[in-house]
Amino acid sequence: MSFTSQLAGFAIQNNSYELLPERVIDITKDMMVNAAGVALAAAAQPDSRVLTNLIQDLRGNGKCTIIGMGLRTSPTYAALANGMMINLLDFDDEISAYSLHISSSIMPVVMAIGEMNGCTGKQVISAYATASEIMARLARNCSQLEGSNSTTLSVDGVLGSIGACIAAGLMDGLELQQLTNAIGIAAGSAGGIAANYATPARAYQCGQAAMNGLMACSLAANGMVGSSDSIGSDKGLIKLFWGAQINSDEFFTSIGSPYQIEAPGATLKLYPCDTASHTAIEALLQLLQQYRVEASEVASVHVSVTPECMDSLPIVTPSGGWESRFCMSYIIAATLLHGQPLLDFFSDAAVANTEVRHAMDKVTVQATEIASVVSSNPCTVSLVLNDGKTLENKVDFARGQPELPLDKEEIDAKFLYCTRYILPPDHIEEAIDSFRGLENIENVTGMFSVLGG
């Protein structure tokens, strides 16, 4: 049996709510609450409006919800729009070890098909968790290959198409050969470039991955045939994008033991900016709080990070709100002035503020930190005060990372924060309760409709 057929077989055989570890179920629901919240926050962004207007111009018809827009469209267009919005603010979940954003590909698919088919909550959880594991396990094994093109490709765009396809296939009840064909179709349209990293086009690639996967399943369900081994062959997806092949025996021996959202674990962000900056944010906030320092008392800020962190934050001088999420000097300056980073920090108006520009001049960032087995992203922040005194703090992990996970109350509070201007209070409470009790819902159509705003 080919690698791709084995992959499809694993998905079908393990697509059972009753087989899932309790911790995996809990994390899956956390990820869904988080994804819904950040997409609702993104609904007001101009780029979300641009895409939604285009979908309306294309006359997308259907009963699937576009999050936060008060609109319904076809399953494929809903997947495209919702996938982009989940990733747009860089506030979605991430398996940082592989730079993989899972929910932007999978959540839109389970939403769309869940609404179309009136699926149960258990079906949604099972498909979500199973597809997440396959997508993340592929990312793990591919990241270890020599000759990898990982610095030039978008892992979300490439593997997101496969994860979305598997989630869609499981939700639609595809048989083994149909799902194998669907993966082949999805693999042929998978793609995404790292050059789009610090632009809204990165988020569009996530939406496109969700749409690709869903459309591939629809085509396969209606008889279209794809390669029998689109993933593992010499002419397949992994060889194309990573330049080598993964060890099939090792892959299928280790998959699901444990689930990757358990270990290394998924980060649910506390701050709406690149994950690599979060240890620096925490180090600075701790100094400001411990020593009760005001921004006016600080002469300079020195930030020591790893080279990998520098690569993840390539913007030196942000031109607007989007780029500011990937600029360490801006993030540190804004945190120094205003405290915990909030969504409003990353607007064009906030970036243009003269006070924050002046504060950026105080910040220096150097790649002098070294990753270790303890922490892959340690950061040391030093404050030099006007009186010459130096304060220093090193942080290995930030809140929201698997080592310091947010609890359910914090995740629900984040949902409330993200949705407070989009949903009425009773709908916010209803949405949270629905996600938390998802396994008890017999038809998810109503709960997903609430997210339309």
Residue 325 lies in a domain: yes
Query: Tell me, what's the pLDDT at 139?
Result: 96
Residue 38 lies in a domain: yes
Answer yes or no: do 128 and 21 share one domain.
yes
Contact indicator for 33, 444 with CB cutoff of 8 Å:
no
DSSP helix/strand/coil, 382: strand
Answer yes or no: do 187 and 221 share one domain.
yes
CATH number at 279 reads 3.30.1330.120
CATH number at 42 reads 1.10.4100.10
Say how far apart CA 7 and CA 9 lie, in whole Å. Answer: 5
Q: What is the CA radius of gyration of the chain?
A: 22
Answer yes or no: do 215 and 143 share one domain.
yes
Rounded mean pLDDT, 258-269: 97
Q: Write the pLDDT tens digit of every residue in 38-93.
A: 999 999 999 999 999 999 999 888 999 999 999 999 999 999 999 999 999 999 99
Residue 27 lies in a domain: yes
Residue 359 lies in a domain: yes
Rounded mean pLDDT, 262-280: 98
Answer yes or no: do 25 and 139 share one domain.
yes
Answer yes or no: do 238 and 290 share one domain.
no
**Domain carrying residue 384:** 275-395
Answer yes or no: do 138 and 172 share one domain.
yes
Q: Write the pLDDT tens digit of every residue in 185-236.
A: 999 999 999 999 989 999 999 999 999 999 999 999 999 999 999 999 999 9
Query: Tell me, what's the pLDDT at 33?
Result: 99
Q: Evaluate the CA torsion angle 423, 425, 426, 430 in order and state its sign.
A: positive
Answer yes or no: do 57 and 115 share one domain.
yes
Query: Tell me, what's the pLDDT at 147?
Result: 63
Helix residue ranges per DSSP H, 292-352: 307-312, 321-324, 328-338, 348-352
- Going by the DSSP 8-state scheme, the letter that residue 265 receives in this structure is I
Determine the residue type at 373.
V
Instruction: Compute, in degrees rounded to 10, the torsion defined by CA atoms 33, 38, 43, 48.
Output: -120
Of the pLDDT bands very low, low, confident and very high (cuts 50, 70, 90), residue 150 is low
Of the pLDDT bands very low, low, confident and very high (cuts 50, 70, 90), residue 145 is confident
pTM here is 0.96
Beta-carbon contacts of 379 under 8 Å, excluding residues fewer than 6 positions away, are 279, 280, 283, 303, 304, 305, 309, 369, 394, 395
Q: Mean pLDDT for the chain?
A: 96
Residue 400 lies in a domain: no
Answer yes or no: do 31 and 164 share one domain.
yes
**CA nearest neighbour of 189 among 221, 227, 151, 132:** 227
Residue 297 lies in a domain: yes
Q: Write the pLDDT tens digit of every residue in 419-428.
A: 999 999 999 9
Q: Would you tell me how many other CB atoms lie within 10 Å of the CB of residue 49?
A: 12
Quick check: 295 pLDDT over 90? Answer: yes
Distances 119 to 172, 217, 310, 446 between C-alpha atoms, Å? 9, 17, 44, 11
Answer yes or no: do 258 and 288 share one domain.
no
Answer yes or no: do 363 and 430 share one domain.
no
Query: Tell me, what's the pLDDT at 60?
Result: 80
Answer yes or no: do 266 and 281 share one domain.
no
Structurally, how many domains does the chain consist of? 2
Residue 220 lies in a domain: yes
Answer yes or no: do 360 and 445 share one domain.
no
Residue 401 lies in a domain: no
